[in-house]
Amino acid sequence: MSNKMHIQLNVNGEAHEFLAEPRELLIYALRERLNITGPHVGCDTSHCGACTVTLDGKSVKACTMFVAQANGAEITTIEGIGSPDALHVLQESFREHHGLQCGFCTPGMITRAVKLLEENPTPTEEEVRFGMAGNICRCTGYQNIVKSILAAANEMNAQPSSSEAVGHNKVEAAE
């Protein structure tokens, strides 16, 4: 099992290089090699979305992707969305509308929501519920998560400049 691969990743704007077995999952490369522990492991089968990251502009569940498959990719995790001094609108909105409780699903949830609002800046409630259906929360019953996302969408549309913290794969939210 010593066939290691040379892996290059760009995570949250930082370049990383390491040798890894091809079977190593992306989530463990992030969490255990790079100490990026925001994305979590909840189910191991890509159902719960706690491990959601953005990879080359797409929402991806890092628990079922080999790091070898991610070689050369540009990845954004929750750690690359906003900063303590300049939170992303969604991070503010989840707090404002009580969109989280135990916090375990939250990094994946917000990472997915950022992407969702890039894909669809003016979603209906139904579109939010459908677009977030790959992320499971056991605490909130989703009502306040949906509320947080819709409120953030409104705010981002009202103030286009405030969505600048989205990160690397930003799509202009408003015309």
Give the sheet arrangement for strand 14-20, strand by strand.
Answer: 14-20, 5-11, 74-76, 52-55, 58-61
Specify the DSSP element, H or E, that contains 58. strand 58-61
Do 160 and 122 touch, CB atoms closer than 8 A? no
By the rule CB under 8 A, 114 interacts with another protein: no
By the rule CB under 8 A, 165 interacts with another protein: no
HSE-up of 138 (CA within 13 Å, CB side)?
A: 8
From candidates 118, 142, 150, 173, binder to another protein by CB under 8 A: 142
Residue closer to another protein by CB (options 32, 172) is 32
Residue 78 CB, nearest distance to another protein (Å)?
4
Question: What are the residues binding another protein (CB under 8 A)?
Answer: 1, 21, 23-24, 28, 31-32, 35-45, 47-48, 50, 77-79, 82, 84, 87, 91, 94-96, 98, 100-107, 110, 128-130, 132-146
